[in-house]
A and B are shown apart, each in its own frame.
Chain A
């Protein structure tokens, strides 16, 4: 059940340019054409009793509780299924209606437990509310008849229970799973009295249910109920905040008892998610109060020393003294920092400010380096701005979608549900991916084309698509003439038209039959609105930036930028990776994507910050590692990133971290990187601070503190105090003041403030005088750079080649239940679904190697070896293997290489030449060393006493 404290309008809001006026119990109300009588009544302040209707689902008309009388019409139609007509006069109350409603409720309650006082839904139950609303006093049928009061609960799912004794078979859960989530995991089995809700032939856990929770919040009783509510009871207040998992940026109501979260429920008013969520944001929030949380700062001189718990003051003084010592000895450029894409905009802004103003250099970078930095480069070059062009609502207006190098049902599930809804309505779908991702064939959705290319061939496929569009005369000539640089276009057109860019010529590189590419190109180019969504399967390549530019080229070529339903849509991975890029986390750019070499920009920031900003670009993360190994980079401040697990070529990263004289890690857990650290600043989760996140839509949303920081300081406060210890004062009493500074200094943010975000719910930048309420769609009249730029995108094969020794290609990715390095999700019940990383192998490759499903296999590359369990699946193509990187002990990045994107050094995670073979040992040499080092570091962490063996300092 959602919450009976929040108005439920009964049926979804309709959009129409026309309005109609109806009278509800004599009250006039004007609504968009198509609105139900039920919704119009609610808007007029009249609550019509209901059970099967809810405003997140289309009307169903089964419960017969919402009957009304309409002047001039016979009978008593259901108000949820009756559309308003102009001039209609509706009565919602009469003796006849009251008798009918009481009769309906009598039937429901005759087959329902009468244990309200001990029921977990007590106080928040629609059935209870409706019994009260209709004045139910007795049940004339009695309770001795056949009933459903003795049935087994399904408690298989770790997060919610299914109690069929409480079920009224309103089918809201079934419809939520269909309409909202699009998984179709639930059904009504049987008919009449035998009807019951079923998750297929199994229990919930073993079914196709993805635990999004849509059925749970749709359920009007306690049939589907969060276990946290069963345990703790109903919340007493709620705070609206933003999810800290992926780049969708779902809005949530954190429902609380005091300072404790009882449950997280997706906010219906959330503009990114419209009341939907996934298993991670909805249920996997327990990590925030996990016993592993670091609550006390710690320091040590060497990484072989035990940790010593100290006060915040001592930790700041020690860290600052080390930075100063190292800079005096090795130079100012020997230090740097990494901002977090999980922390807020305000916190990220402060870290880059600390590095630039406090450390005195530009050696600052962010995790976007390893994911969407090519998006920044590619879209800035072609369109003029380093961000996606649309909002998520745009998908409702699209006619044909290309999904390229992304797996949204796993990586961006809430957006994927919106996409699937549009696809069920008939939009075309082209999937370009080496794997058969779920979207290729899922209930009521099938891709028109699955271009199952070889890893590393994105640019070839995209060039081939563009070649077809141009040579078959399908380009948007007027759009190009009006909006794009014609000199660049002419040059590019000549290039792309060459026979060597045809699907036929490129087939040996792409592995995709030419006729498939031709068919896909025609489908996309002929659609009135075509949209491209892409992910790290584009960017994490040696031609990552080139790949992004091919996307922009194709979008401009077909006239698909600048309105709803189209666009170039990077699916950003982390909750605030867009924000961290916006905030100037890159070593070459100040906030707002302005190069450090620009004297006017340096002067602007320099005057505000009271320092001189360096004019040269700083080190990127991979360059920091190289410089560390080389001896010229000696100290690093890392906020909220686990580079030892997430970055490629693990052994090189480990060597780099070991080379540092001072590694300061600020995080909520002792992660893999912390094992090499000398200072630990305890971090704060998203529940413990105020701030903002920016999602993939450029949408800036509030993050609101619901509990005090466990270690006493929010992350932004830690950075401020650290800066002060270094001798650089930052005076802020609240994060809103940091945002005010960002707005002062950044042209795309000048209209942003906490007041505005509170008022509007969220704001999409650019938000300034030209767009005071923000910008859903970019490049509407012209591109940010003026004219769109077509860029020559020659396909160049990756230097990572298969050989006889390494004949397979490894590509990596994510799954639904775990998130990135797993630091958060591994500390929740999401472990139920994925408690180890596995290698996925095609049956042919397995057979050739004598490998069976479930065998332990070694995966070797020229960089290293690791051992994992093998899963044999036909969703891989022969020659390609797949794994995830959610568990540190699986060592997926031990085998990935230092190949990277030519423009940004974004690692080529998606193409590594490997061999896979069956083994009997369950760990590689690296994994054994990892275990030994981990045990050593755990022991050192547990020791944590002062030099005099006193109790740990507070």
Chain B
């Protein structure tokens, strides 16, 4: 699936949770939303993009979510 589109969608989610002053909650909110609503192949593609190492314009909350909640988010 289109990597740019998935990054855009993830960034939109992060933009909503970015208004949460508690950063831990904001990261968890972003991660939980992706976990609850994104089908495994979408999450797999997002991780593939993330693991490439380059920026891809990912919101810092998305980066944090993929890093700190990897075990929950990454499909088996």
Contacts and interface: CB of A to CB of B under 8 A. Distances in A.
Interface of A: 333, 362-363, 491, 495, 542, 546, 587-588, 595, 597, 616-620, 623, 626-627, 630, 632, 792-794, 796, 799, 898, 900, 902-905
Contact of A792 (B1, B8, B20, B33): B20
Nearest to A363: B39
B36 A630 contact: no
B41 A632 contact: yes
Given A597-B36, A623-B1, A902-B16, 4 more contacts: A546-B16, A616-B39, A617-B37, A623-B42
B19 interface: yes
Contact of A903 (B8, B33, B39): B33
Given A333-B41, A616-B75, A796-B15, A626 B33 contact: no
B58 to A, nearest CB: 15
Contacts of B21: 491
Contacts of A799: 8
B1 A626 contact: yes
B29 to A, nearest CB: 11
B51 interface: no
A626 B2 contact: yes
Interface string B22-66: 000000000001001111111000000000000000000000000
B1 A542 contact: no
B36 A617 contact: yes
Given A616-B75, A627-B1, A632-B41, A902 B36 contact: no
A620 B38 CA distance: 9
Contacts of A898: 5
Give the secondary structure class of A's interface. loop
Contact of A623 (B20, B39, B75): B39
B67 interface: no
A796 B17 CA distance: 12
18 contacts: A362-B39, A546-B16, A587-B39, A588-B37, A616-B40, A617-B37, A619-B39, A626-B1, A626-B2, A626-B5, A627-B41, A632-B41, A793-B19, A794-B19, A796-B16, A902-B13, A903-B33, A905-B9
A348 B64 CA distance: 39
Contacts of A363: 39
A903 B13 contact: yes
Contacts of A333: 39-41
Given A542-B12, A546-B16, A618 B39 contact: yes
A694 B1 CA distance: 35
Contacts of A491: 21
A902 B15 contact: yes
Nearest to A796: B15
Nearest to A793: B19
A630 B1 contact: yes
Nearest to B34: A617
Nearest to A618: B39
A902 B1 contact: no
Contacts of A794: 16, 18-19
A799 B4 CA distance: 14
A616 B74 CA distance: 11
A865 B2 CA distance: 24
Contacts of A904: 37
Contacts of A542: 12
A905 B2 CA distance: 15
Contacts of B18: 794
A721 B36 CA distance: 32
A581 to B, nearest CB: 15
A363 B38 CA distance: 11
A630 B45 CA distance: 11
A133 B2 CA distance: 76
Contacts of B15: 796, 902
A10 to B, nearest CB: 55
A905 to B, nearest CB: 7
B26 to A, nearest CB: 10
B4 to A, nearest CB: 11
B34 to A, nearest CB: 10
Contacts of A632: 1, 41
Contacts of B36: 588, 595, 597, 617
Contacts of A587: 39
Nearest to B16: A902
Contacts of A617: 36-39
The 3 closest A-B pairs by CB, nearest first: A902-B12, A794-B19, A792-B19
A796 B5 CA distance: 19
A617 B33 CA distance: 11
B37 to A, nearest CB: 6
Contacts of A619: 39, 42
Task: Tell which of A617, A619, A898 has the most Cβ of chain B within 10 Å.
Answer: A617
A492 B18 CA distance: 14
Nearest to A792: B19
Contacts of A616: 39-40, 75
Contacts of B41: 333, 627, 632
A900 B42 CA distance: 16
Contacts of B75: 616
Contact of B16 (A620, A626, A903): A903
A363 B41 CA distance: 12
Contacts of B9: 900, 902, 905
A597 B37 CA distance: 11
Contact of B19 (A495, A588, A595, A623): A495
Contacts of B12: 542, 902
Contacts of A620: 37, 39
Nearest to B39: A619
Nearest to B5: A626
B6 to A, nearest CB: 9
A616 B75 CA distance: 9
A588 B37 CA distance: 6
A495 B5 CA distance: 31
A794 B75 CA distance: 31
Nearest to B42: A623
A954 to B, nearest CB: 41
A553 to B, nearest CB: 13
Nearest to B18: A794
A794 B9 CA distance: 17
Contacts of B19: 495, 792-794
Contacts of B1: 623, 626-627, 630, 632
A949 B15 CA distance: 61
A491 B40 CA distance: 34
Nearest to B13: A902
A905 B38 CA distance: 11
Contacts of B33: 903
Contacts of B38: 617
Contacts of A623: 1, 39, 42
A517 to B, nearest CB: 21
A491 B22 CA distance: 11
A898 B36 CA distance: 22
A542 B8 CA distance: 12
A459 to B, nearest CB: 11
A793 B2 CA distance: 29
A510 to B, nearest CB: 19
Task: Tell which of B18, B36, B41 has the most Cβ of chain A within 10 Å.
Answer: B41
B62 to A, nearest CB: 12
A898 to B, nearest CB: 7
Contacts of A618: 39
Nearest to A549: B16
A589 B1 CA distance: 23
Contacts of A902: 9, 12-13, 15-16
Contacts of B5: 626, 898
A784 B14 CA distance: 27
B44 to A, nearest CB: 10
B36 to A, nearest CB: 6
A863 to B, nearest CB: 14
A928 B34 CA distance: 41
B18 to A, nearest CB: 8
B20 to A, nearest CB: 6
Nearest to A905: B9
